[in-house]
Amino acid sequence: MIPKLIHQTWKTDAIPDRFKAWSATWSRHNPQWQRRHWSDRALLDFVAQAFPEFLELYCSFAEGVKRADAARYLLLYKFGGVYADIDTECLASLDVLLDEERVVLSLEPSTHWHPIAAVRGLPHLVFNGVIASPPGHPFWLHVLERLRANRLANNILDATGPCLLTASCLSYQSPKSLYVAPSTLFNGFDRWGVEPDPLAHEGRLARHYWEGTWLVPPTKRPVRAFIVKSVSQMAHWLLRGKYLTFDELRRTVNPACLTAAPSEGDNLAIFIPVRDAVDHLAPCLALIAQLDIPKHHIKLVFCEGDSVDGSWAELQKLVEPLRKDYRDIVLLQKVVHTRFKHADRARRLVQKQRRSGIAAVRNHMIDAGLSAADDWVLWIDVDVWSYPADIVSTLRKTGARIVAPHCVYRRGGTTFDLNTFITTEPKRDYLYYRWLWQGLYMPPKNSGRRLYMEDLRHSEVIPLHSVGGAMLLVDAALHRGGMRFPELPYEHLLETEGFGRLAVDLGVPMVGMPNVEVLHAPW
């Protein structure tokens, strides 16, 4: 059962004056309940003593709000009771919760769901500002597992906050031991002071005032922003060069391919671009041989170009003895005449040339390597060095026609393929134009404008706005129907990013699997 214990946290022992009246309401309405205030130092001591195995992760959170989020889950697991944010007001007695054996939560107001929840593929948002729980409830162990898995997430909402809690509720295997009430139970008014769900009455025990104590106030420099945007727009118009429009690309796509159901066939074409990869070819073929797909269903398509290390000769030598084993083996060449040092491949100055060349290679493989007998195309970088034997069946289980696993350097590590992302800030403001170069939009990873797979390990399947090509499964009918990789900027994106944007604009859903990892060579 839920004990008569109320937890509140603040940075110090002294509560700021603006919160004192709200904080006092919890004791006024619940005189028989114990109310305990936890400072940051008290929480540190609590975690060190009660959860030493969690201390390293707890201390790794740079932002205090992440530690506060994690601490409330630990407090509820250890002691039970009610946790309440310092900017919440108690409206009635909590005694109605005393006989409850479930964890009691509430939704956030529905006006908060879009775009925060929608962009992540979550059906709603669960509020983490007021929570009631019996002590020792196993749900909190599940939440802690998600915290560990998602420890690299940059966004607080995903790392420790409402998005992580929502995903934890959705994935918990004993959902009947949770009660997720309408928003009116703990926070009927949204951050704009509007009551969006007035008919969803559920006791009204508390109200949250959305003070946002953890938010960093935006810097207001409207004149500077206007000047930067104007100058950056002018530079973009002068330097962008040729680009593609949606109408141009749509005319090349057969509409019938867009609405078809995912292929039910098992014939797989594995497409592997090759450049200066002589050391990776044999291991690449060995990995393919371990797939749990009969070889008579597999076609291998390699395309080499611009190599200077003898990759073409080595590729011919290695595949010749294998021709009898596979459905087909196709060797192609495509020279695109791009020259840059491998160490410079991520530099902004070479991106347009480099990625335009890669797009040309991919499109050549579609034109010369794809046939009517192919049901699925699996794109793999030649230097992806580890993936499970059942990777294709795992990706197909999502039911999507374009699916990306999580490409990393090491298991549980940061995302390697940063072309796979969700866009969280689509506004074309002054920062957008500041990060345009030669017609390509390239925001810094830490800009907050995109969520990568490492940010979303709290969910098993997520919608995507862009895909990378380190490993990518595509319904072959889409490629046959004209969906290709833009070789010129489309919506300021190229190659696989442009392909992903085109898929979104054509209404073809794409999904990613953040917890299905494939390993890329760390160089």
Q: Does the pLDDT of residue 215 top 60, yes or no?
A: no
pLDDT for 471: 98
For residue 487, pLDDT over 70 is answered with yes
Q: Do domains 5-208 and 242-254+264-520 have the same CATH topology?
A: yes
% of the chain beyond a pLDDT of 90:
84
Question: What is the pLDDT at residue 240?
Answer: 72
What SS3 state is found at 231? helix
Please report, for residues 1, 335, 422, 461, 523, the alpha-carbon distance to residue 519 in angstroms, rounded to integers and kept in the order given: 45, 28, 21, 19, 12
Higher pLDDT, residue 221 or 315 = 315
**Residue 291 backbone dihedrals phi, psi, to 5 degrees:** -60, 145
Contact status, residue 249 vs residue 448, Cβ threshold 8 Å: no
CA angle in degrees (0–180, nearest 5) for 434-436-440: 170
Per-residue pLDDT of 113-130, as tens digits, reads 988 999 999 999 999 999
pLDDT per position as a tens digit, 151-201:
999 999 999 999 999 999 999 999 999 999 999 999 989 999 998 877 665
Q: How confident is the model at residue 439 (pLDDT cuts 50, 70, 90)?
A: confident
- Written as six digits, the tokens of 371 are 């046939």
Residue 37 CB burial class (10 angstroms; 0-12, 13-18, ≥19): middle
Three-state secondary structure call for residue 364: helix
CATH 3.90.550.20 fits 5-208, yes or no: yes
Q: Phi then psi for 282, rounded to 5 degrees?
A: -65, -45
Homologous superfamily of the 242-254+264-520 domain (CATH):
Spore Coat Polysaccharide Biosynthesis Protein SpsA; Chain A (3.90.550.10)
Which of 202, 217, 157 minimizes the C-alpha distance to 451?
A: 157
C-alpha span between 38 and 67 (Å, rounded): 12
User: Residue 500 above 70 pLDDT?
Assistant: yes
3-state helix, strand, coil split of the chain in percent (to 5) is 40, 20, 40
Q: How confident is the model at residue 492 (pLDDT cuts 50, 70, 90)?
A: very high
Domain boundaries, the chain: 5-208, 242-254+264-520
**Does 109 score more than 70 pLDDT?**
yes
- Say what the pTM is: 0.92
